[in-house]
């Protein structure tokens, strides 16, 4: 089933969720690596992967929002958690969307303002600039830390439901 039911997420939502999650983990790892790199050529090569994947995650997030808004409805709350936990979960999901879109925008902003896009994607000669000198760098770095914290909270809550509450909540976000 492509669409969600009252008890389970549909295949479109599941695919977007897990694909986005894997890509975000990869982006956090590669971004952390990029932050410490000094070799401009190696940094440019890693940016050739990091930047388009970041844009892809931004686009997947827009697709996900559009999917929920226009075509599908999320399953009903599982009913195994107190109302405050449901509100907290909703807040974490909204923060995910905000941070993902902010990270995509700040990443694109850094590439445009620094001229690095031409070096990374156009093959223009030159060394990469110090991204720290551009305004989008700070929110991009803060966003990465917030994203990491959100992932820990989100995964921790899912594992709590699966292993401690044993309420099958995690199975709702998997294929049938």
Tell me which residue of 108, 81, 100, 111 sits closest to 172, measured CA to CA.
Answer: 81
Average pLDDT (61-89) is 92
C-alpha–C-alpha distance, residues 121 and 117, integer Å: 6
Share of the chain above pLDDT 90, in %: 77
The per-residue pLDDT for range 144-174, each reduced to its tens digit, is 999 999 999 999 999 999 999 888 888 999 9
Counting every residue, how long is the chain?
A: 176
Which phi and psi (to 5°) does residue 74 adopt?
-70, 150
Range in 33-42, 83-92, 121-130, 137-146 the model is least confident about: 121-130
Helix 40-66, helix 83-114: angle, nearest 10: 130
| Cα distance between residue 100 and residue 85, in whole Å | 22
Separation CA 40–CA 46 (nearest Å): 10
Q: Distance between CA 132 and CA 165 in Å, rounded? A: 44
Q: Kindly state the average pLDDT of the residues 104-112.
A: 96
Q: Is the dihedral of CA 166, 168, 171, 176 positive or negative?
A: positive
Closest CA to 104 of 54, 35, 44: 54
Instruction: Give the pLDDT of residue 168.
Output: 85
> pLDDT digit string (tens) for 20-74?
999 999 999 999 999 989 888 889 899 999 999 999 999 999 999 999 999 999 9
Residue 123, pLDDT score: 73
Which phi and psi (to 5°) does residue 14 adopt?
A: -65, -45
Distances (CA, A) of 159 to 48, 88, 149: 34, 16, 15
Across 96-100, average pLDDT = 98
pLDDT at 174: 94
Say if residues 92 and 150 touch (Cβ distance below 8 Å).
yes
Question: Is the pLDDT higher at 121 or at 149?
Answer: 149
Query: In angstroms, rounded to a whole number, what is the distance separating the alpha carbons of residues 163 and 20?
Result: 24
Q: How far apart are CA 47 and CA 41, in angstroms?
A: 10
What's the pLDDT score for residue 126?
74
């Amino acid at each position: 089933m492509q669409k969600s039911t009252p008890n389970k997420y549909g295949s479109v939502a599941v695919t977007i969720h897990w694909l986005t999650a894997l890509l975000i983990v990869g982006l956090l790892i590669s971004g952390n690596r990029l932050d410490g790199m000094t070799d401009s050529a190696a940094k440019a090569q890693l940016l050739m992967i990091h930047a388009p994947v970041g844009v892809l995650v931004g686009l997947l997030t827009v697709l996900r929002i559009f999917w929920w808004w226009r075509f599908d409805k999320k399953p009903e709350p599982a009913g195994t958690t107190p109302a405050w936990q449901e509100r907290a979960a909703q807040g974490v999901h909204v923060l995910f969307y905000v941070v993902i879109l902010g990270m995509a925008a700040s990443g694109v902003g850094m590439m445009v303002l620094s001229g690095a896009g031409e070096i990374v994607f156009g093959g223009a000669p030159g060394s990469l600039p110090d991204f720290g000198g551009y305004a989008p760098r700070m929110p991009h770095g803060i966003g990465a830390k917030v994203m990491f914290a959100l992932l820990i909270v989100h995964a921790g809550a899912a594992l709590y439901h699966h292993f401690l509450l044993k309420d099958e909540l995690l199975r709702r976000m998997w294929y049938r």
